[in-house]
Amino acid sequence: MDPIELLARDDRWQLSAGEGLVFAPPHPLWLDAPGFWDPASLFGDEIGPLFTVTFLDDDGAEIAAHLTTRRWSPAELAVEYRLGNGATAAEVRTVQPGGVFASEWRIEAPRATRMHLVAWTAQPGTALEGAMRYDGTVVFRRRAAAGGEPYEIALACMGGTTSWGLARSESAPMHPRWGFTPFAAQWTSDGLPPGAAEVDAAEVTYAAVHRALFVAAEGTSTVFAMRVASPVAARPSPAASPPANAAHAATLGGASRRRWRDHFSRVPAFRCSDPYVEHCYWYRWSSLELLAAGDLGVCEGTGHLHRLTSDAAACHTRELRWMRDPDVARRAVRTVLAAVREDGSIPWQLRGARTPATSNALTDWGGAVLALDAVHPDDGFVRSAYGVLARHARWIFRERTTNVGLIEVMRGEVAFDDRDRWRKQGSVCAVDAAVAAYGLFVALGRLALRAQSPQDAPEWDAAATRLAVAVRERMWDPEWRLFRDVHPKTGKRVGPRSAVCFYPYRTDLADARHLAGLEDSLLDPDAFWTSFPVATAPANDVRFSRIGARAGVRGDAPFSGPVVPLVNSHLIDALARVARAYAPHLRPHVAHLVSRTIRLFFEGADPVRIGSHEFYDPVEGRASAHRFASDSTHSWIIDAIVQYVAGVRPHEAGLTIDPMPFGLELVDLSGVLVRGHTVDVRIEGERVTATIDGTRREGRLGTPMEIAMERGPGAFPPGPAHA
């Protein structure tokens, strides 16, 4: 099976080379126009327009290009046009390493003919810094939206140009229409009009490179490219240096396909009799690569690339830990930890996503680091992460812990580190913040010895114990049989019922004494367990809204009812822990929640049309398509497939193979690397076969296989029984 072909479809357009530069306009307007006219994003900055391509005859008259087909895969966008002169033109759009947007053309005609292709751009003068010039390649600098170093941009015809042009204009529509350009009225017998090799920015500044082509019986080809790069990572122009891998493939499209196949070969292979599960697995890996930021870490994926958030990087860590190269996941951790201030606070730019009760609640970095280390232990990484995590935990002690031991966070839109403002505007001791802090304390207690700080372990164990007591005594509401937020001053439990109330079940903060509350509320189809669970607010609450409306207004970050994939990721882990620890009768519910969460991502019953949006209708499963996120990776779905569909669960004592009962005919996961051991799992009906380094073990669904693995220098020491 080729994941590239599995994911191919005709209604997508997102392209990237996995370096943080991505062509993924959330609501594109110009996909039918050749080239890349809609904006791209580089680390959160929107850059556009890029460039388009126009066909001309010898007299300079435009040859109309009518789109006939478009086919997308993660590697390329292949588009075919019927030209007004009877010729056909096939374009392959790719994003290549080094920040190169390539438009690769193959033109065929029923009879020999001469044509001219012009790649051109129009740049708003307010976005340019300095002059635009031509030195074999059109070169200009574009300001970064955030005020950082400007981007170096170059436009070229690979292999050389026939002619070129620079032009300045007052107001003009920023559309990919040749007739709007000054060049349309200035065409000469030699092509674009010769002019100055350097022009200052105007209200609109145009640049173009031209290639004359003779289309013989066998057809002809050419390539235009635009490079977008930060000066600190500037690379040779596309005219002088083809993108990486180009020398090893016949076309740039071929190079892109080879690069994507290399990416998919670095993750475990997966097949499943459920096409939705199988397709979701490979789609998720393509999304992570599409929106990856290379050596600079991993940025949160949305329709256009937003800033890296702490929550997003934690989600990516749980997904990327299943790659055979652990450095990819470790970069996600290091990127965020590098931004933690000396006092342990987190800059507001890295704030987490809003939850039903609070904004900017703490991220479960302790759980994310333990999850990564369970698969790829490494003492050096633990030591480097431990100091920053400990600094952040001590900041939580000083700034967020109340005198009764709960964790206080702000409500509403207040900067994460603006202590005076958030205390004035109102705060709450939030359930999700308590669970995140508890996970951090537990992780630090377990990692202290490996980080060569054994003297710290009692401090973290005591902090975890104190917080656990406070959560059980003060947040558990025996009447509602739910964990609830607490007012920091009055000590009273406050707030409506929310899906976040079930976060403690992910850990040993909840135990068998709290099981009835989970079953009565979470699993109630009239409350949270809707057709597409889990509703973030109970359906029988007067404030419930399927679209997240408040006072009749649809919200941008609604938690008054819609399903949020990030919340579901927490709750899948919560249900699974409860089912393993003391309620095995809930195992089918785990499978149901994973299956329904995956089905959310698909449009109707089509097992090909998949996306990942910020929230969904809990009754019909409709996506928040109006938002800017069409490929949000703010959850951990690959992790759920590996852990619960295939049943691969690494932990400090080794590895457990324990699939949940999905009722599938076939599940085949191979090439999983756990602590240096290769793990394959095959499930056929009720029969489970696990192969560890070539040694087979047979079992039955519902009977866990416990596989001991040696504790090497990077494995966990024995620790307390915290989750």
C-alpha pair distances (Å), 526 with each of 8, 534, 537, 605 = 39, 11, 11, 25
- Please name which of 504, 616, 602 lies closest in space to residue 565, comparing C-alpha atoms: 616
Rounded to two decimals, the pTM is: 0.91
Report phi then psi at 283, rounded to 5.
Answer: -60, -40
The whole-number pLDDT of residue 348 equals 63
The whole-number pLDDT of residue 625 equals 83
* DSSP designation for 470: H
What is the amino acid identity at position 399?
E
The whole-number pLDDT of residue 231 equals 55
The whole-number pLDDT of residue 428 equals 92
Q: Domain segments of the chain: what residues?
A: 3-120+147-164+209-263, 266-677
Indicate the class that CATH gives domain 3-120+147-164+209-263: mainly beta
Half-sphere exposure at residue 270, Cβ-oriented, CA atoms within 13 angstroms: 31
Contacts of 479 (CB under 8 A, 6+ apart): none
Report which secondary-structure segment, H or E, holds 588: helix 587-600
Rounding to the nearest 10 degrees, give the CA dihedral for residues 144, 91, 19, 625. Answer: 80
166 SS3 class: strand
The whole-number pLDDT of residue 293 equals 42
The whole-number pLDDT of residue 297 equals 36
Report phi then psi at 648, rounded to 5.
Answer: -90, 110
Report phi then psi at 72, rounded to 5.
Answer: -110, 145
Beta strands 427-429 and 204-215 are unpaired
The residue ranges of the chain whose pLDDT is under 50 are 232-248, 293-307, 353-361, 413-423, 712-723
What's the rounded Cα separation, in Å, for the pair 583 and 49? Answer: 56
Topology match between the domains 3-120+147-164+209-263 and 266-677: no
* Exposure b/e, 496-533, CB count within 10 A at least 16 = b: bbbbbbbbbbbbbbbeeebbebbbebbbeeebbbbebb
What's the rounded Cα separation, in Å, for the pair 215 and 116? Answer: 10
- Please name which of 566, 633, 666 lies closest in space to residue 278, comparing C-alpha atoms: 666
* DSSP designation for 680: E
* DSSP designation for 561: S
Specify the CATH number for 266-677; select among 1.50.10.10, 3.10.580.10, 2.60.40.10, 3.40.50.300.
1.50.10.10
Model confidence over 33-92: pLDDT tens digits?
A: 999 999 998 877 889 999 999 999 999 999 999 999 999 999 999 999 999 999 999 999
Give the distance from CA 25 to its chain's centroid.
15
